Each structure stands twice: as structure tokens, then as C-alpha cells.
Amino acid sequence: MEPDMVTEMIIETAKKGVKATGIVGDDDTTTAARLKTNVPHMVEKRSDKNHVKKNLANCLYGMQKNFPTLSTKNINYLLKLFNYNISQNKQNPVGISRGMDAVVGHAFDDHSFCDDTWCRFIHNSSAKYSSFPYGRPLTKPSLKAALFDVFGAYKKIAPKLSMLSSTQANESLNKSIASKAPKQLHLSGSANLNFRIAAGVAQKNLGSCYLTNVI
């Protein structure tokens, strides 16, 4: 959503007695700056967890040029560990910071930062890596150093990662409205658009049964 639109929505809802104290979105700094300048009360900016995951995935895939041994299967496994770390350490930045070291170390058979709640290698060192080729861990020292650099950057923003939220509900609503009012059609010239948007909102809140209620 555009920064000026977000700012307008926050201001208009405040006029109606609803004080929004936080928003969820990507890491666009323009929105935060606009809110700070134009909104009289404090509005917290939280990152969207899917956006954070996407950025990490793009970074890891970009490393394949220099590290061909970093396969897609390896990347998916690292992303899986990253997501688990975030999910298990909500509002726990210390846990997230330690978990970032565990993600890389675990992939290279170093389990000193792992937790026995999810790492079976702590009690069974002969176990195989089911998500890695031939069941073996990664070994290339230069790749390990590069991955520590990548995940080390996420350690520095552990407090922010511990407070991630999701825009999935918004995306779902947008999809419902788009099915009623396709963007490629000009519908704003009459009340037609209002009814279509209302239908999308009703479907989101009530489900398909809204049709029988209207009829």
C-alpha cells in the first residue's frame, strides 16, 4: 500500500475515534517517515514475516553463483530452520539471536547452539540429514563463513524479528474484493463499485453465506 494512503487511513480512523497504534508491511522507510511527520500519535511499524522470509530466500539463491554446492534443497532447509526460529521465539530476541547461530551451525554439523527440542543430533550424533544430499551436512568453510555473515545480519535485528506480524489477512481481503471488482474494469463511475467492495468485505467477514442473507 502506498505511504500516502496509509497515512490518510490512520488520520481518518483517528478522527472517528479509532487510534491505530501499529501497522504491518514491508521495510519501506518512506511509510514510517510519513507517519512520523503527519500523524500526531505514535504508530509502530512492524515487518511482515513473509516479506522477511522472501528477502532471505533471494539472498540465499543469490549466493549460488559463488557457492554451487548450496543447492535448492539446502536453501529450503535453511529457510525452514529460520522460520522455526522466528515462530518459536516470539517476543524473545535473545532466543532469536542464539537461533541464528544454530541455523548455520546445525547445517554444518555443529550443534553447540542447538536445542534438544528440535535437534535430534544432540542425542544421536550418527543421525542422517534427511533434507541434505546423501544425508550429510555442509562442509565448505567459505560457505559457512558467508552464511554466518548473512544470518549474523539478522541477529542484529533480533528485537524486530521477535515482533513480526503478517499481512496475510489483508491480502486475503484484497483478493476477495478483486474477484468482485477487477482492476482492469472501470467501476468507480457509479455506486457499482461500492456494492462490489461491500460484497467482498461481507464475504471476508461472513463467508459465502452472505449471499443468502442479501437475497
Per the DSSP assignment, residues forming a β-bridge with 23 are 45
Name 166's Cβ contacts closer than 8 Å, sequence gap at least 6.
24, 48, 49, 50
Whether pLDDT at 215 is above 70: no
Residues 146, 144, 102, 72: is their CA dihedral positive or negative? positive
Q: How far apart are CA 197 and CA 37, in angstroms?
A: 31
Q: Which has the closest alpha carbon to 106: 120, 95, 96, 92?
A: 120
Whether pLDDT at 93 is above 90: yes
Structure confidence at residue 1 (pLDDT): 61
Q: Which of 102-106, 185-189, 192-196 has the highest mean pLDDT?
A: 102-106
pLDDT, tens digit, 9 for 90 and up, residues 118-155: 899 999 988 898 888 888 899 999 999 999 999 999 99
